[in-house]
Amino acid sequence: MTATPVSTDPAASAAPAAARTSAARTGGAFGPRQLLAALGPAARRLDPRHQLRTPVMFVVWVGALACTVLAVLHPSAFAWAIAAWLWATVLFANLAEAVAEGRGRAQADSLRRTRSTTVARRLRADGTEEEVAGTALAVGDLVVVEAGQTIPGDGDVVEGVASVDESAVTGESAPVIRESGGDRCAVTGGTRVLSDRVVVRITAKPGETFLDRMIALVEGSARQKTPNEIALDLLLAALTLVFLLAVVTLQPLAVYSGQPQPLVVLVALLVCLIPTTIGALLSAIGIAGMDRLVRRNVLALSGRAVEAAGDVDVLLLDKTGTITLGDRQAVGFVPAEGVGVEDLARAAQLSSLADETPEGRSVVVLAKDAHGLRGTTVAGATFVPFTAQTRMSGVDQPADGATPARQVRKGAASAVLAWVREHGGSPAADVARAVDEIAGSGGTPLVVAEAVDGAPARALGVVHLKDVVKPGMRARFDELRRMGIRTVMITGDNALTARAIGEEAGVDDVLAEATPEDKLALIRREQGEGRLVAMTGDGTNDAPALAQADVGVAMNTGTSAAKEAGNMVDLDSDPTKLIEIVAIGKQLLITRGALTTFSLANDVAKYFAILPAMFAALYPQLDALNVMRLHSPQSAVLSAVVFNALVIVALVPVALRGVRYRPAAAGALLRRNLLVYGVGGLVAPFVGIKLIDLVVALLPGF
């Protein structure tokens, strides 16, 4: 029986990668094509049920409807112009959200093209197989997947090891290894097995897979408002109510003064004074923040986590597989006295040919790279594979002409030194010192020994294994430090090894011999002191801590438990990606704050445009406030309404692209925000309204 993928086109698998690469290269460019594509969805959002979600824009919608009715009952060019531009204001607000969601929908479409409907090979209880549709799989089902077949659903490998093409999800063309019994057992539905055979236990229901959730999130349909958004919505609603009361009270005063104002003018004044700009762009800012994460191959399962990332104080990183490569690697040969380093390397390589562990393979690679040695054997040689019981591997070579019989062993220091004693030898003092020095530095010593033609065995030297720190880690941690984030490495290793790795990586602190309970306690302690904590991890033992952290970033290579516990998943499995996540979180907060500042500053300028125009005829003293010298009261009101609508469109690219974030102190960021967006928000309306007024003054009736 075989699984039958409906679509295994490599071009389709590469589609999301190309889409994300192109988007990243352009920075999410905003242009006329996007505007035109978003006009339809924006028009559909004129439905009052949709407008009710944003109180500020609902007030504008009601005002536009009221002005339209008034224009029908008492037609005039002024009334129709005000009504048209109020509808344009609502439409432009919808346009901002539609463009943001449209970009996510384009990514979702490319992801959908990678999904394939499969016929899965489900294992029965008696060990036989049956063909079922991938959509019929339930949580806990075991399915067999072989080379060339598509994995039918999210799950964990419970048997076997295979090379898997995950480019459909991650955009990374290089295959990855997935194997049972470790932290690299999780597989994603829609990815393809390239070699070997695995048995996968399904962990997600159809329609709730990782890819399904990713599609829903990038479309924006699964995005919930964050606490900060809700708080800002309440503030904007309160400001709207205050301005509504202020405008309502103006009419009795105007009537008392003998100059009642047309209802159209009052509606225009209300719309111009309430914070329509930020009200129109608020949703787009949040959607764009999630979109920027997806473009960097990070799936945020919570908008709240994106905001929290902008305020993170402490970052906890798991050592194995996060800061380090995860497998100990051979980094050097330390020969015994009287033994050449090349002789030691040759013996170590020969004795590692039957060692299939990552450590054994790294010894072979080091001997080849550092000394140009190739694995060669004598005919008739017997290989001794590595086992957990013996903790050694090696080779037995028979006598061949002038070459005597020889036994070579490599393995854990205690096991090989015991083998030396069993074969009549005694460990040399310099070998024992090398073992102690390597262990003391946080490394792992492997001893290489030989016994030639029945003579007493002797130790040839030591292979230095160490947990290799991933390239560029120190520079990334330095950057985090400049952001004001303290880094803590957490590991189950002993304190000596942990300290050595921590110093090499450049972290600020180390928690050694950590249990899952220790990680939880550390996070709760930091949170109890008022700090926001972020953590990256990939193992099942990391799941409780990932769930407790304010920002839990699970590696895509990790277990399903880790990915379910975190509120973000890094598809690239790069722990230092948190630097970009933090920057995006800060950018989101700064963008929202900057545009809120700009919006409120705008209202001050519009106040100077409309109020003098309304009452200057009655109170000539107010003409001093008409600093823009606008043409007439009607042109002043219409110019303010037109500017109010157009500024939303002008700021859509800023909302989507985000205000650029540079690592700096909070005070410096605040000063820059006030200078650029506060002062800019005051100046821009004066210039914009005056220019629009010059055009409006040329129209008949104004």
575-591 residue pLDDT tens: 778 778 888 888 888 89
Among 4-18, 439-453, 625-639, the minimum mean pLDDT is found in 4-18
* Confidence (pLDDT) at 19: 37
Which pLDDT band holds residue 70 (cuts at 50, 70, 90)? very high
Q: Is 538 annotated as a binding residue?
A: yes
Which residue did the predictor score with more confidence, 43 or 89?
A: 89
Which pLDDT band holds residue 58 (cuts at 50, 70, 90)? very high
Q: Is 390 annotated as a binding residue?
A: yes
* Confidence (pLDDT) at 647: 92
Q: Is 389 annotated as a binding residue?
A: yes
Do residues 487 and 477 touch, judged by C-beta distance below 8 A?
A: yes
Q: Is the per-residue pLDDT at 495 higher than 90?
A: no
Angle in degrees, CA 410, 414, 418, rounded to 5? 85
Q: Is 386 annotated as a binding residue?
A: yes
Q: Is 329 annotated as a binding residue?
A: no
Rounded-to-integer distance, Cα 582 and Cα 682, Å: 31
Which pLDDT band holds residue 21 (cuts at 50, 70, 90)? very low
CA distances from 673 to 233, 235, 589 (A): 21, 20, 12
Query: Which residue is listed with tokens 């905001």?
Result: 307
Q: Is 240 annotated as a binding residue?
A: no
Rg (CA), the chain: 34
* Confidence (pLDDT) at 216: 64
Which pLDDT band holds residue 16 (cuts at 50, 70, 90)? very low
Q: Is the per-residue pLDDT at 154 higher than 50?
A: yes
Which pLDDT band holds residue 517 (cuts at 50, 70, 90)? confident
Q: Are strands 298-300 and 568-570 parallel, antiparallel or unpaired?
A: antiparallel
* Confidence (pLDDT) at 199: 92
Q: Within 13 Å and on the Cβ side, how many CA atoms surround 219? A: 14
SS3 351: helix
* Confidence (pLDDT) at 295: 79
Q: Is the per-residue pLDDT at 67 higher than 90?
A: yes
Q: Is the per-residue pLDDT at 210 higher than 80?
A: no
* Confidence (pLDDT) at 409: 93
Among 281-290, 294-303, 410-419, the minimum mean pLDDT is found in 294-303
Rounded-to-integer distance, Cα 613 and Cα 630, Å: 8
The share of the chain scoring above pLDDT 70, in percent, equals 83
Which residue did the predictor score with more confidence, 205 or 218?
A: 205
* Confidence (pLDDT) at 4: 33
Do residues 584 and 296 touch, judged by C-beta distance below 8 A?
A: yes
Listed ranges 15-29, 98-112, 297-311, 384-398; the one with the highest mean pLDDT: 384-398
Active site residues: 318
Mean pLDDT of 232-239: 86
Q: What is the pTM of this model?
A: 0.65
SS3 564: helix
Q: What is the DSSP string of 93-140?
A: HHHHHHHHHHHHHHHHHHHHTT----EEEEEPTTS-EEEEEGGG--TT
Q: Taking the CA atoms of 184, 186, 192 and 194 in sequence, report the sign of the dihedral they define.
A: positive
Smallest Cα–Cα separation from 15: which of 102, 113, 95?
Answer: 113
Q: Which tokens go with 2? A: 């075989």
Mean pLDDT of 305-327: 79
Q: Are strands 568-570 and 551-555 parallel, antiparallel or unpaired?
A: parallel
Cβ count near 361 (within 10 Å): 16
Mean pLDDT of 681-688: 88
* Mean per-residue pLDDT of the chain: 80
For the chain, what is the total number of helices (H) and then of strands (E)? Answer: 24, 21
Mean pLDDT of 640-657: 89
Smallest Cα–Cα separation from 284: which of 698, 658, 691?
Answer: 658
